[in-house]
Amino acid sequence: MSEQNQLSFTEPGEKKILFLNSYGLWTLYKKETMRFLKVWTQTVAAPAITTLLFMAVFALALGADRAAMGFRFTDFLVPGLVMMAVIQNAYQNPSSSILIGKVQGNIIDVLMPPLSPLELTLGYVGGGITRGLIVGLTVLFAFSLVPFITIHMTHPLIALYFFVSGSIMMSLVGALTGIWAQKFDHTAAIYNFIVMPLSLLSGTFYTIDRLTPAFQAVSKVNPFYYLIDGFRYGFLGKGDSDLMIGVLYTLGINCVLAYVVYLVFKTGWKLRP
């Protein structure tokens, strides 16, 4: 090996970009991304079809021309259904990946390489974010092909913030769930009894002014309400909530969740024997 090559050679685990092991981080992220892309018919196409069926059922039952917030009901539904798909799929990727690794006993293959807690957090959560965004874009594209749906995009940057924020939030929740869970029933319980109810009762199919004051107050604690309403504001230019409150609330939750996930990976809670 020449002197020049010896000087430029670095071990795979050596940190090359700032304080990150970029090689290891990219490998983990690639693993998390390829695991759902290899079965894209289940992880991308199936959620898109399910969301289209939601739209078809509500359009047939209530009428596509029914008004909501001054827009056709189908146009009103689009942002909420897209965000629901993002929320559900961003959660499922890290939760299933970490739990499967624990059940099969190969989680050690991820914990033993020279990956810091921050790199583990970024790798697992990055895979969930990618899945959430890909599914969301696929659903949005499918909606754009439906003749009776018009895709509005009034404030693209606002829509982008809530689009990414929702994916980050649920990827972090999914990572925490996968670390905490000991069996698949645990992750299913969190999804069925927390994630699904909160996403369905967050203003996806209605405006909050249709609720009683007590239920309006409950809805305003639900972070999914701000994600869906903020995302809808980016499309339609109208929303039920204060946009700045939604931004700060979701940003604060994401920061807290990210720190908790980092601490969990750092301590090895539920991961190390």
pLDDT digits (tens, 9 = 90+) for 53-98: 988 888 787 766 677 888 888 889 999 999 999 999 999 999 999 9
- Average pLDDT of the chain is 89
Biggest CA–CA distance in the chain, Å, is: 76
Model pLDDT for residues 229-241, shown as the tens digit of each residue: 999 999 999 988 8
CA atoms of 115 and 236, how far apart (whole Å): 43
Cβ 224 vs Cβ 198: under 8 Å: yes
Distance CA(106)–CA(35), nearest Å, equals 15
* Residue 221 CB burial class (10 angstroms; 0-12, 13-18, ≥19): exposed
pTM over 0.85: yes
pLDDT digits 0-9 by tens, 96-135: 999 999 999 889 999 888 899 999 999 999 999 999 999 9
Q: What is the pLDDT of residue 5?
A: 43
Return the closest-CA partner of residue 55 out of 89, 80, 88.
Answer: 80
Confidence (pLDDT) at 46: 94
- Please determine, for residue 3, whether its predicted confidence score (pLDDT) is greater than 80: no
pLDDT category of residue 148 using cuts at 50, 70 and 90? confident
Residue 261 has pLDDT above 70, yes or no: yes
DSSP letter for each residue of 28-93 = HHHHHHHHHHTTHIIIIIHHHHHHHHHHHHHHHHH-TT-EETTEEHHHHHHHHHHHHHHHHHHHHH
Residues 6+ positions from 29 with CB-CB distance below 8 Å: 122, 123, 126, 127, 130
Between the alpha carbon of residue 7 and those of residues 13, 22, 115, the distances in Å are 16, 19, 23
User: Which token pair is 191?
Assistant: 């999804």
Half-sphere exposure of 92 (CA within 13 A, CB side): 19
| pLDDT above 60 (res 174) | yes
